[in-house]
Amino acid sequence: MIVPTEWALTLSAVLFAIGVVGVLVRRNVIVIFMAIELMLNAVNLSFVALARGRGAVDGQVVVFFVMTVAAAEAAVGLAIIIASFRNRSTVNADELALLRG
Amino acid sequence: MDAVILHSQVLWLIPLFPLVGFLVAVCAENAPGIVKITSPLAVLLSFLVALASVVQLAGAAEGARLTQDLYTWIAAGPFSADIAFRIDALSAVMVLIVTGVGFLIHVYSVGYMGHDESCSRFFAYLNLFMFAMLLLVLGDNLLVLFVGWEGVGLCSYLLIGFWYAEDANAAAGKKAFIVNRVGDMGFVLGLFLLAWSLAPAADGKLSLDFAHIQAHAASLAPATATTIALLLLVGAAGKSAQLPLYVWLPDAMAGPTPVSALIHAATMVTAGIYMIARLNVVFALSPVAMQVVATLGACTALFAATIALVQTDIKKVLAYSTVSQLGFMVLALGVGAFGTAIFHVMTHAFFKALLFLGAGSVIHGMSGEQDVQKMGGLREKMPVTFWTFLVGTLAIAGAPGLAGFFSKDEILAHVYATGHPYLWLTAVVAATLTAFYMFRLLFLTFFGEIRADHDVAHHVHESPAVMTVPLVILAVLSIVGGWVGLPEHWLWGNRLGEFLAPVTGHPHAAEHAGILGEGALMLIATTFAVAGATLAYVFYVRLPGLPMVLSWRLRGAYETLLNKYWIDELYDAVFVQPYVRISTLLWQVADQQLIDGFVNGVAGAIGANGDVWRRAQTGNVQHYALAFLGGVVLVLAYYVIR
């Protein structure tokens, strides 16, 4: 049985919302990164569902791009976190407010 | 104007030499030995070039003039002004006085200021002054004259406050400059009005050249001419120390004595006289202005003479005497005897410079003492100074045959002959007082027993030759200097008057307008002068206690005179204090509270504004992300609703 497109989009929206809330609320920067990954994957799901629904393949190709970018971004982001942790010994987002005006 | 115009190539050297001397003195500030030679030399060279030019002029036709046009300074539409010099009869007399007497005073200063630690600076200022004064007398137009006019005012300030470490000296310098500025305001307004009102030349060109003014003065309306003349008179009153702008001159005695001799006796103060004589065509157009000039001169002459009667500082007596004699010159100008005024400028330069340099010699010999009450008996100890001072005193009192006699008598004769009996009487009284106070000064300084401390008295000595030789030269000039202007029917007559006449005009009414003839006038004036001198002899040699008794008996009058009619106090209360109060108010309220408050307030307001908005900058990335989300929601909502 083919999963109805609306169900997949709904799941995608819910996952995205969870990701957003996670970015805004969680204190541990690694968990924030996990939430960012969650948002990216929710968008991937949305792309694939719509591509399947239309029978086109371009949406599925975009997913490859998104995954690549997400991987690179995760690598860089984690490197930054490690560098920051070496200096400040904390992964608490509230304590990393150096740009406070 | 059919005057013969000769073109000279050397006139520019006359002011140039002192200017170079100034630059040398500035560069060689730490080598006073060099400066003491170059500065007098510069003035000597100026004198020689001036003499050669005057000889050339004298050989030319009557009314001729030498000119040199250096370059065009201002060219603004129809108006133009050049840096140009002229020597005609009037400036010939002035330039010889300035450079000749100036040279003698420079030589004297080598002795008087030679040991001063800032000697080079002194000679630098002195040479700069000579430069400015020569610009003034040699200028071919009113603007070059004005440049020199301002320049001598500056140098006067610099030289009066030469020993600026003393506050009183610096204050005197400031006073001189500020009071002069008040006069200059009048001068500048008069100059502008003249430039504005004068008709253009045939080719439409406007200028303030003296030739142009001479040719077109008649185009001025009477009211305009009166206004211009009165404004120029304000300028002359400031520079030549007439009422009410004379107050700077007595204070100017704070400067070194050679400065008093050169600037405040012989040259700078005569600039006002020269200016009026030069612009005599403008003044002659306005009988009202002439009357004001004459009355002002007579009143100043009498006023200053009364103050001089009781002063105890040797230089102050001479200062008030200068104001009084300048009053005589202004009086002469006012009755139309412009040439006579210049004659008196010349004789006054000789004997007043002599008296001041003599006073300097006395001060030098008395180790710096200037109070006449502490002097006395210097006759034997300083013979050359005494004899030359005596000659100067006789000259200023109008002793027959000496310089002052002929010039002062000519003034009195013209005043009487042009129908001003009251002014004549004022002048005669002033002349009598002059004889009295000058002889008083002579007797108190040189006669009797010395009243100083033992140390000072012991140290009294005659001054060195470098100071006494100029005294002797000036004494000789004070004797013979008047012989160029003898009354009309005596020997060779009034040579100087005839020489000056093409420029200064012939005074009106050489005939007798009154009941007294010229001989009678001369006799009256001389009798009064002798009376004044004799009275001084009685007061200060025969009956030394008498002055003190009289000053007690008439103490109201005595105190008034001693306090100079409290004019300085009056000016202070009426002008200076309100001005200071307004300035303080403007400083504390308008400047500090209002303007600074506004500027600082703007900065403060911006800062406060920033303090409010910076609260959004928490540094917490999650807050920024929330704001980002809010913006996205708004944009999406817009598109969904539309």
| A81 in B contact zone (CB under 8 Å) | no
Query: How distant is the Cα of A28 from the closest Cα of chain B, in angstroms?
Result: 11
| A20 in B contact zone (CB under 8 Å) | yes
B49 in a domain, yes or no?
no
Residues of A in Cβ contact (< 8 Å) with B616: 101
Tens of pLDDT along B346-391? 999 999 999 999 999 999 988 888 888 888 888 888 999 999 999 9
Residue B625 to residue A24, Cβ atoms within 8 A:
yes
SS3 content of chain A, % helix, strand, coil (to 5): 80, 0, 15
pLDDT (0 to 100) of residue A73: 96
pLDDT classification of B483: cutoffs 50, 70, 90: confident
Domain boundary among B562, B594, B621: B562
Residue B6 phi, psi (nearest 5): -105, 140
Residue A24 to residue B622, Cβ atoms within 8 A:
yes
Asked whether residue B356 falls in the same domain as residue B464, the answer is: yes
Distance CA B541, CA B495 (A): 40
Query: Picking from A9-18, A30-39, B44-53, B588-597, which range would have the lowest pLDDT averaged per residue?
Result: B588-597
Distance CA B452, CA B375 (A): 6
Residue of A nearest to B618 (CA): A100
The DSSP bridge partners found for residue B87 are: B66
Tens of pLDDT along B490-508? 777 788 888 888 888 776 6
Asked whether residue B453 falls in the same domain as residue B590, the answer is: no
pLDDT (0 to 100) of residue B2: 61
pLDDT at B153 over 70: yes
Share of chain B above pLDDT 70, in %: 98
- Comparing CA positions, the residue from B628, B505, B567 lying closest to residue B249 is B567
Share of chain A above pLDDT 90, in %: 78
pLDDT (0 to 100) of residue B307: 93
Residue of B nearest to A26 (CA): B622
Contact residues for B373 (Cβ-Cβ < 8 A; gap 6+): B312, B444, B451
pLDDT at A2 over 80: no
Query: How distant is the Cα of B634 from the closest Cα of chain A, in angstroms?
Result: 16
pLDDT mean over B529-539:
88
Asked whether residue B537 falls in the same domain as residue B581, the answer is: no
**Nearest CB neighbour to B622, from listed A23, A98, A99:** A23
Burial class for B599, CB neighbours closer than 10 Å (0-12, 13-18, 19+): exposed
Q: Is B174 helix (H, G, I), strand (E, B) or coil?
A: helix
Distance CA B172, CA A41 (A): 92
pLDDT mean over B628-634:
95
Residues of B in Cβ contact (< 8 Å) with A25: 622
Residue B629 to residue A20, Cβ atoms within 8 A:
yes
Asked whether residue B453 falls in the same domain as residue B340, the answer is: yes
- Domain range list for chain A: 16-90
pLDDT classification of B97: cutoffs 50, 70, 90: very high
pLDDT at B412 over 80: yes
pLDDT at B94 over 80: yes
pLDDT (0 to 100) of residue B194: 92
pLDDT at B509 over 70: no
Distance CA B572, CA A22 (A): 84
Asked whether residue B378 falls in the same domain as residue B404, the answer is: yes
Tens of pLDDT along A28-56? 999 999 999 999 999 999 999 999 988 88
Evaluate whether B8 touches B53 at the Cβ level (below 8 Å): yes
Distance CA B132, CA A60 (A): 97
The DSSP bridge partners found for residue B79 are: B76, B206
Asked whether residue B551 falls in the same domain as residue B582, the answer is: no
Evaluate whether B455 touches B330 at the Cβ level (below 8 Å): no
**CA B158 and chain centroid, separation:** 14
pLDDT (0 to 100) of residue B29: 87
Distance CA B642, CA B637 (A): 8
Distance CA B416, CA B426 (A): 11
pLDDT (0 to 100) of residue B438: 94
Domain boundary among B536, B562, B588: B562
Domain boundary among B542, B562, B582: B562
- Comparing CA positions, the residue from B207, B45, B240 lying closest to residue B140 is B207
Full DSSP string of B30-78: T-HHHHHHHHHHHHHHHHHHHHHHHHHHHHS-TT-EEEEEEEEEEEETT
Contact residues for B508 (Cβ-Cβ < 8 A; gap 6+): B335, B336, B418
Distance CA B214, CA B231 (A): 18
Residues of A in Cβ contact (< 8 Å) with B629: 20, 24
- Comparing CA positions, the residue from B403, B524, B392 lying closest to residue B446 is B392
pLDDT classification of B516: cutoffs 50, 70, 90: low
Query: How distant is the Cα of B614 from the closest Cα of chain A, in angstroms?
Result: 6
Asked whether residue B612 falls in the same domain as residue B486, the answer is: no
ipTM at complex level: 0.88
pLDDT classification of B397: cutoffs 50, 70, 90: very high
Task: Write out the residue range of the structural domain in which residue B580 sits.
Answer: 571-641
Residue of B nearest to A36 (CA): B625
Residue A98 to residue B619, Cβ atoms within 8 A:
yes
Asked whether residue B545 falls in the same domain as residue B600, the answer is: no
pLDDT mean over B475-489:
85
Residue B618 to residue A97, Cβ atoms within 8 A:
yes
Please count the structural domains in chain B. 2
**Nearest CB neighbour to B621, from listed A25, A93, A101:** A93
Residue A24 to residue B626, Cβ atoms within 8 A:
yes
pLDDT mean over B401-422:
89
Contact residues for B395 (Cβ-Cβ < 8 A; gap 6+): B347, B350, B351, B354, B402, B403, B404, B405, B478, B479
Residue A98 to residue B617, Cβ atoms within 8 A:
no
Q: Which helix (H) or strand (E) holds B316?
A: helix B314-334
pLDDT (0 to 100) of residue B513: 52
Residue of B nearest to A28 (CA): B622
Distance CA B630, CA B619 (A): 18
Residues of B with CB under 8 A from a CB of A: 614, 616-622, 625-626, 629
Evaluate whether B98 touches B133 at the Cβ level (below 8 Å): yes
Planar angle of CA B417, B422, B426, nearest 5 degrees: 105
Asked whether residue B552 falls in the same domain as residue B619, the answer is: no
Q: Which CATH class is domain A16-90?
A: mainly alpha
Residue A93 to residue B629, Cβ atoms within 8 A:
no
Tens of pLDDT along B154-212? 999 999 999 999 999 999 999 999 999 999 999 999 999 999 888 888 888 888 998 88
pLDDT (0 to 100) of residue A98: 84
Residue of A nearest to B624 (CA): A24
Asked whether residue B462 falls in the same domain as residue B393, the answer is: yes
Residues of A in Cβ contact (< 8 Å) with B625: 23-24
pLDDT (0 to 100) of residue B1: 47
Going by their DSSP bridges, the two strands B79-87 and B65-76 should be labelled as antiparallel
Q: Is B622 helix (H, G, I), strand (E, B) or coil?
A: helix
pLDDT at B518 over 80: no
| A55 in B contact zone (CB under 8 Å) | no
Tens of pLDDT along B449-458? 888 888 888 8
Q: What rounded mean pLDDT belongs to chain B?
A: 90
Asked whether residue B393 falls in the same domain as residue B505, the answer is: yes
What number of C-beta contacts closer than 8 Å exist between A and B?
30
Query: How distant is the Cα of A1 from the closest Cα of chain B, in angstroms?
Result: 33
**Nearest CB neighbour to B620, from listed A20, A23, A97:** A97
Test mutation, A24, A31, A43, A81, chain B, max B CBs within 10 A: A24
Tens of pLDDT along B257-299? 999 999 887 788 889 999 999 999 999 999 999 999 999 999 9
**CA B88 and chain centroid, separation:** 22
Residue A97 to residue B626, Cβ atoms within 8 A:
no
Residue B629 to residue A25, Cβ atoms within 8 A:
no
**Nearest CB neighbour to B619, from listed A20, A25, A97:** A97
Residues of B in Cβ contact (< 8 Å) with A101: 614, 616-619
Burial class for B607, CB neighbours closer than 10 Å (0-12, 13-18, 19+): exposed
Does B244 sit behind a cis peptide bond, omega within 30 degrees of 0 on the bond before it? yes
Asked whether residue B342 falls in the same domain as residue B437, the answer is: yes
B164 in a domain, yes or no?
no
Tens of pLDDT along A18-35? 999 999 999 999 999 999
Q: Which helix (H) or strand (E) holds B69?
A: strand B65-76
pLDDT (0 to 100) of residue B3: 73
Q: Note the helical H segments in B71-209.
A: 89-112, 119-138, 142-160, 167-197
Query: How distant is the Cα of B628 from the closest Cα of chain A, in angstroms?
Result: 11
Query: How distant is the Cα of B622 from the closest Cα of chain A, in angstroms?
Result: 5
Burial class for B154, CB neighbours closer than 10 Å (0-12, 13-18, 19+): middle
Residue A24 to residue B629, Cβ atoms within 8 A:
yes
> Which position has the token pair 């005043």?
B415
| A1 in B contact zone (CB under 8 Å) | no
Distance CA B320, CA B564 (A): 10
Tens of pLDDT along A40-96? 999 999 999 999 988 889 999 999 999 999 999 999 999 999 999 999 898 898 888
